[in-house]
Structure 1
Amino acid sequence: MDLVFTTGAVGAVRIEGGGDAAIGLRSAAPAVGDGVALHFEGAGRDWSAGQCLAFTLRANGAHRLRVRIEHGRGHWVLYLVPRPGLSARVVLPFADLRERPHNSSHPGYSRFGGGPHPVDLADVHSLTLTFNQVSPEDKTLTLADFGLHDTVMESAVLDPRVVVDAWGQWTGERGALLAEAQVRAAWAAEPAAFDGFPGHTDATGAEAAARLGEGTGFFRVARDGGRWWLVDPEGYRFFSAGCDCVRPKSEGPLDGRETLFADLTHAEEREPTVAGRWHSRLWADFHARNLRRRHGEDGDWHERWSRHTAARLRRWGFNTIANWSEDTLTRRGLMPYVTNIQSLGPLCGHLPDVFAPDFPRRVRDLVEPEVAPYRGDRMLIGFFVGNEPHWTFGGVAHPFNAVF
């Protein structure tokens, strides 16, 4: 069912078209909040007979877009990041407008966020789509084919063509960013750039002038005057600056995207047993492929990658390998690191009764087996115990909403 609406500019953008025609947005330098508003009237406010909203989206860059739906019970906000230069069918299932879904990647765009007020589908007032990040480049955006559907449609790229080269570089309409010879020349030149910089051989990079007494052999916290500090194993103040997710792999799903890639000879086919955002038959990992191109296919490539990566991080000003990084890298003793405790997820994320008499025992029973392998590791700073608890995700299903 087509949607009937009126359009209005939000901020300093120029709008072309509207109504039944495509809506074009142009701006030389849009600020956060610039965009377009669709206002629904009469029968157009009632979406309750449908299962999803779908529309076509095309942008000249990977602009983060904020979608805000105003309705009779409040508002719902989510975010889209389109693939540059591709026309994509964006699908918003109505189930995802009631409970916050997981962040997800779709052919033609990524989607994340959701909340706080579940959408009253019988009384939808407006949909506002605005640019959500500032950048100096000109921005263009085209929206079309807004409609309600009685089944959940498939998201899709509507003008498929090759936009990713054999190295995993997004090329769009510009062709290859770097030729193979250029890539290999950059690799050959890089090691010299990492020789002789401060901290290359020092385990923690701490400065002698910042010592807070004798070291204990492990990271700890200590108070100096009115300020708490991390203290390294040798007793020096330590200001941790870390990079998350340092891993030799970064795979992604390919279903519905196959035509976008110049070379998928390294892709793997799997049984798509997991539903939702990771439901895919075909997968590829250009990052891992390129690391093997650089460091070799023999059994020592991981050691070479690990030492090169630690040197790179120090050169860039980091002194910590931060959370969600690969365990086989962090345990090599090349840099201080943090890791996370997986076993506490259900306990910390589902509003446990922390005052219950058995709560300390339950925590200890969960944690002890997981932390035991790290005993004696002087490079370990500490553990994360929770991240993005599910009760913050909005929606109506969790008791959190009744309590707060």
Structure 2
Amino acid sequence: MSLSIPAELLQAGPHTECHRLSSECFYMTTPPQGGSVYFESDNAGRSVWTDFDFVTAEVFHESHDVLVLLFTFHDQENRSITFHLGVLPNVKTVICLPLSHLNGEKLFLDRYPGIMQSVMRGDTYVDRSSINRMTIATIPSITDRRIEFAGLSLTRSIPLFDYDPMPYINELGQLASKDWIGKMEDPQQMVRKLTEERLLAGVADSRGSEYGRYGGWKRMEFAATGFFRTEHDGSRWWFVDPDGYALFSTGMDCIAPASPMRVSGMEHLTPQLPGSDGLYQEAWSQGGREFSFEIANLIRSFGSQWRQTWQQLTECRLIKWGFNTIGNWSDSDFIRNSKLPYVYPLESFPVTELTIFRDFPDVFSPEYERSAESFADQLRVLREDRRMVGYFMRNEPHWAFVDSLNLTHQMLQSPVRYASKERFVQWLEDRYRTVQSLNKAWGSSYKSLESLYLAETAVEHRSSAREADYAEFNRILIRRYVEVPARLCKLADPDHLNLGMRYAWVGSDDMLEGCEWFDVFSLNCYQFSPDREQIEHISKVLNKPVMIGEYHFGAADAGMLAYGIRAVGTQEERGQAYRYYVEQAAAIPELIGVHYFQWNDQPVLGRFDGENYQIGVVDVCNQPYQPFVEGVKQAHSNMYEVRTGQAEPYDVLPIEIPKTGF
């Protein structure tokens, strides 16, 4: 479906506040595989996209799940950037797209009222002055979709978010409009079930005699050093626990009493919430901007002893179900009082005031080294903790979400005289000696090397030699980014394992630069099984083991509206998917651990950034998804036999349904 931007819009006067991109109302109907509508203009280059600051509209759809809309902007150089944003079903939502973000500098956007998560994908930037197409599309779904758009416009100001009150969730935080197996009928039922489980939960270690005090598998033993380390046994890599026992790490991320709900901007969809200064004050956080129904439900069930009871119950569940590691971003009190080993996420990765692209710092600046020293210092208080497996330096660098990114080119496009730019010019002078030699190699016409500090030099004629130099210095920048903080971390804490940066994915071998400083290379892998070929390649290049910091599966049969990045139909299938992933992982010699994301379901109305996935082991009422748990237990009971070749991994590939991930 194609629509043209009206000619009168392209000639809008400087004081016009709003211009329509379409008629007052139009409908978009898409099949299960998704669909799109696009708006074209033959007048690209006019000022329409620079004169206005926002694209706005009112959206409504009737559906079973969150609608993920993709607004893509294309320019004359075939660059494109897409806004991904989630819209709740059966409620009016006002969307707002700030066109300033077409500069590509942000990955995750701030939430507007009523909107779920908003994410940017695509090229490093789009030239607003040469936009020639805007596309609206949907991602695949299990059914057709019919979406109503009203007032699709370009505006100079943020719209009014004028919503009528419409309670969307009940007093327990459950979706009000849907019934499912396991939904609590009332608070009394929830309290009764939690109380019964509490009475059965023991404090004794139920791991069994074949596991050591740090969770290691006693049937395979190496030299004990008193700290976690790694070892290759001639056939496969292992974690080795402080007592010398082999460990394949099955961890759980975000073990905490809650996944808090963002209240600010969603007040029209919540029931009456308790006050922040009474019995339920611990359910509030972030200055009243977030509320945890999970904590409120625990307070309702256990009163002032809710935290201690939750810790005891959760520890019992984790051990009973076969988890052996507390994963990233878990509750610090829980870690302190637990018997289980844990991994630690370092905070405040080194930054500089001026960045080259997104969160990539000016790595040759003295500011970067000073920041890295402070960053490493946080490890000093943890140096003697034997339960700590190791630390992650950071999670999913935003700059690394652009596969085609060349940081050298990005740096030279900026008018900023970065310290890294000065290092590049010096590097070229060392290589070519004179500007004449550089010009001969590059096919350029610079009068001096100082000309490279001008931003327009980055778009001058590109030769193969110039491209090769850009690529080589790109690797130098990434190496510096990794090794400066990694070296300082190892000085601050020589005994704990550096577990890497948890990359979202590895787009090229450039991202492996400097990673030999890690003890374990970590990445997040949202597939139905780990990417064996990539894991083998990374391990071979670095001569290091690999671990997976995140993966998950959601299902469509529970009371949630989004199923995450990988989804199946039922909780039974979720359990099968977990078993398939873990047993396939255990069969990969280079892989030494997989950590599931996450313990709790996310809130129906979204966490801080609007993500609201059905991915938890437990729901908002702290009830386990028992069919899923059965698959978890089966996987953990089999994994060492699979790891050592005594059993074949589970091989029934789950049937995937369309995701509702952002």
**TM bracket, shorter-chain basis:** 0.7 to 0.9
Which one-letter code corresponds to 1:241 in the other structure? Answer: T
Alignment-derived partner of residue 52 in structure 2: 50
Map Cα deviations across residues 202-222 of structure 1 (whole Å, 9 max, x no partner). Answer: 5444332232x2322321111
Q: What root-mean-square deviation, in Å, do the aligned CA atoms of Structure 1 and Structure 2 show?
A: 3.8
Alignment-derived partner of residue 118 in structure 1: 125
Distance 1:367 1:47, change over 3 A: closer
Which one-letter code corresponds to 1:143 in the other structure? Answer: F
Within 2, Cα distance between the matches of 1:400 and 1:346?
Answer: 20
Alignment-derived partner of residue 192 in structure 2: 185
Distance 1:362 1:90, change over 3 A: closer
Alignment-derived partner of residue 310 in structure 1: 315
Alignment-derived partner of residue 206 in structure 1: 216
Say yes or no: does 1:295 pair with 2:302. Answer: yes
Alignment-derived partner of residue 543 in structure 2: none
Distance 1:20 1:259, change over 3 A: closer
Say yes or no: does 1:323 pair with 2:328. Answer: yes
Map Cα deviations across residues 61-91 of structure 1 (whole Å, 9 max, x no partner). Answer: 2233433222224100231121232110000
Contact 2:216 2:240 in 1 (8 A): no
Distance 1:173 1:122, change over 3 A: farther
Q: Unpaired segments of 5 or more residues in structure 1?
A: 7-17, 269-277
Distance 1:214 1:392, change over 3 A: closer
SS of the equivalent of 1:127 reads strand
Per-residue deviation, 1:346: 2.0
Within 2, Cα distance between the matches of 1:400 and 1:295?
Answer: 58
Within 2, Cα distance between the matches of 1:233 and 1:362?
Answer: 32
Contact 2:255 2:330 in 1 (8 A): yes
Q: Which has the larger radius of gyration?
A: 2
Contact 1:4 1:19 in 2 (8 A): no
Per-residue deviation, 1:263: 1.8
Give the alignment of 1:168-179 within 5 angstroms: 168-172=173-177, 178-179=185-186
Which one-letter code corresponds to 1:49 in the other structure? Answer: D
Alignment-derived partner of residue 153 in structure 2: 147
**Which shows bigger deviation, 254-263 or 170-179?**
170-179
Map Cα deviations across residues 384-403 of structure 1 (whole Å, 9 max, x no partner). Answer: 11223354477x9x977236
- The two structures have a TM-score, normalised by structure 1, of 0.77
Within 1, Cα distance between the matches of 2:165 and 2:43?
Answer: 35
Alignment-derived partner of residue 285 in structure 1: 292
Within 2, Cα distance between the matches of 1:138 and 1:92?
Answer: 25
Give the alignment of 1:202-351 within 5 angstroms: 203-211=213-221, 213-267=222-276, 282-298=289-305, 301-346=306-351, 349-351=360-362
Alignment-derived partner of residue 380 in structure 1: 388
Contact 1:219 1:231 in 2 (8 A): yes
- The two structures have a TM-score, normalised by structure 2, of 0.49
Which one-letter code corresponds to 1:352 in the other structure? Answer: V
Which one-letter code corresponds to 1:387 in the other structure? Answer: N
Map Cα deviations across residues 297-350 of structure 1 (whole Å, 9 max, x no partner). Answer: 14xx32321222223334454322111112111122321111122254327951
Identity fraction in percent: 25
Per-residue deviation, 1:127: 3.0
Distance 1:89 1:267, change over 3 A: farther
Contact 2:56 2:94 in 1 (8 A): yes
Within 1, Cα distance between the matches of 2:158 and 2:201?
Answer: 52
Alignment-derived partner of residue 274 in structure 1: none
Within 2, Cα distance between the matches of 1:185 and 1:400?
Answer: 62
Per-residue deviation, 1:282: 4.4
Which one-letter code corresponds to 1:105 in the other structure? Answer: R
SS of the equivalent of 1:331 reads helix
Alignment-derived partner of residue 96 in structure 1: 101
Per-residue deviation, 1:40: 1.9
Per-residue deviation, 1:96: 2.1
**Which shows bigger deviation, 37-46 or 90-99?**
37-46
Within 1, Cα distance between the matches of 2:145 and 2:301?
Answer: 36
Contact 2:35 2:137 in 1 (8 A): yes
Structure 1 or 2: larger helix share?
A: 2
Alignment-derived partner of residue 479 in structure 2: none
Which one-letter code corresponds to 2:388 in the other structure? Answer: L
Which one-letter code corresponds to 1:71 in the other structure? Answer: D
Distance 1:389 1:261, change over 3 A: same
Map Cα deviations across residues 119-151 of structure 1 (whole Å, 9 max, x no partner). Answer: 3223333333334365x4564433332100022
Contact 1:67 1:77 in 2 (8 A): yes
Which one-letter code corresponds to 2:260 in the other structure? Answer: E
Contact 2:229 2:239 in 1 (8 A): yes
Alignment-derived partner of residue 12 in structure 1: none
SS of the equivalent of 2:295 reads helix
Say yes or no: does 1:82 pair with 2:66. Answer: no
